[in-house]
Amino acid sequence: MSFWNEKYECMSRDEMRKVQSERLIKTVNRVYNNVPTYRKKMDEKGILPGDIKSVDDLKHLPFTYKQDLRDTYPFGLFAVPMSEIVRIHASSGTTGKKTVVGYTKEDLEVWSEVIARTFTGAGLTKESFLQVSYGYGLFTGGLGAHYGGEKVGATVIPTSSGNTKLQLSLMQDFGTTHIACTPSYALYLAEEMEELGIKRSDLKLQAGIFGAEPWSESMRKEIEDRLKIKAIDIYGLSEVIGPGVACECEYQNGMHIPEDHFIPEIIDPDTEEVLPEGSKGEIVFTTVTKEGLPLIRYRTKDLSSLNYERCECGRTEVRMSKVTGRTDDMLIIRGVNVFPSQVESVLLSIGETAPHYMLVVDRKDNLDTLEIQVELSTAMFSDEVKKLEDIERKITKEVQSTLGISAKVRLVEPKSIQRSEGKAKRVIDKRVL
């Protein structure tokens, strides 16, 4: 098992806490003296930078919310003059203003470093050919993966998203060994390969590094079975740095966090209390090396848990569990919390339909309704009506058992649900809430 930066990836807990404490103290001073929003938040809580003496004091600091970035749009949370900002990204926010992120030269170095660590853990080497099929542009996915791949020394193929036939053609011609894209796009590639008659033996693909949307273990199995690769989960947020905030190693047993750069906590999303180790809750990050946009206790709205045990790979970095959903892609239907990833698990475990679905939520006579549109595979489409009714019943029963609420399941024609080359759109909420 190879490491990119063994010193930090395999550091003892005591040494790591020492590094985190030193860096946290510097970061708190930087934001208090350079960012009016943080000075105001700390003053309101009666906290001075000198009160923060170690990582144990992190829990006393105020939280940062996405709304803080919107309220100070575009550059109000930056902690350095604009003359030191060498690049700007912005999140693909679906509501309100985009959240803007600024990077100094040193921030870009840190970003390449953390991605190099995560890619090395996922098996990338100088001999690898990495096809980056995340979007390039304001979205952090493409360029983040690109520079990390180059830092490792891999041959990077910057295809960006879209143009699927070309992507598959280049995979064959160039001998792509690793691909970075969304998991839903990986399934789309598998589907197109089958349609174009491309055999798995025509490709040299070994692994995929998939992120930018929540995906289930069942979807991982589906990707691995269809593409015959190892499907690695990578996690990131533009606000924290982009991709590379955490990533699985080849053992696929939790995502390693480079915690010398990003300190995680798990909190109860309602009470904001820090939860004990192993608890499931909302993951919160504090950046302790970023210069352009340092963030203190940033509320991610992603649901996860933390594991501090040493991994089989030898790394001692804390691992976060696969994100099961977000507190804000969480639909509340008739008082029940529903995550699209739960529906996905049901469909993939039954395995008799295509892995494409859409949740349509509506409100009729003051009652929430949930319709799940599920795409038939081409093979199933020609089957007799009775068999299709049986599948519909089976899915309805499993959904009821998993979600705890009833839903109307509607089977739809193959390829009728719109495909996405970026993040998959899984929900249409027609309610006026």
Distant-in-sequence contacts of 47-50, Cβ < 8 A, 24+ apart: 49/25
For residue 337, what pLDDT is reported? 77
Q: Residue ranges per domain, the chain?
A: 1-328, 331-429
Q: How far is CA 383 from the centre of its chain?
A: 37
Q: Considering the entire predicted model, what is its pTM?
A: 0.85
For residue 89, what pLDDT is reported? 96
For residue 93, what pLDDT is reported? 46
Q: What are the residues whose beta carbons fall under 8 Å from the beta carbon of 43, sequence distance 6 or more? A: none
How many CB atoms within 10 Å of residue 7?
Answer: 10
CATH fold group of domain 1-328: Rossmann fold (3.40.50)
Residue that the structure tokens 């930018």 belong to: 212
Query: If you compute the radius of gyration of the chain from its CA atoms, what whole number of angstroms results?
Result: 22
- Torsion region of 228: left, alpha or beta (phi above 0 gives left; psi -120 to 50 gives alpha): left
CATH of domain 331-429: 3.30.300.30
Measured CA to CA, the distance from residue 245 to residue 162 in angstroms comes to 25
Token pair of 142 as six digits: 């493409």
For residue 183, give the amino acid letter: P
**CA nearest neighbour of 303 among 263, 335, 277, 330:** 330
Q: What are the residues whose beta carbons fall under 8 Å from the beta carbon of 67, sequence distance 6 or more? A: none
Measured CA to CA, the distance from residue 246 to residue 348 in angstroms comes to 26
**CA nearest neighbour of 344 among 218, 226, 259, 193:** 218
For residue 433, what pLDDT is reported? 53
Residue that the structure tokens 């995502």 belong to: 255
One fold for 1-328 and 331-429: no
What's the mean per-residue pLDDT of the chain?
A: 93
Low-confidence ranges of the chain (pLDDT < 50): 93-95
For residue 122, what pLDDT is reported? 94
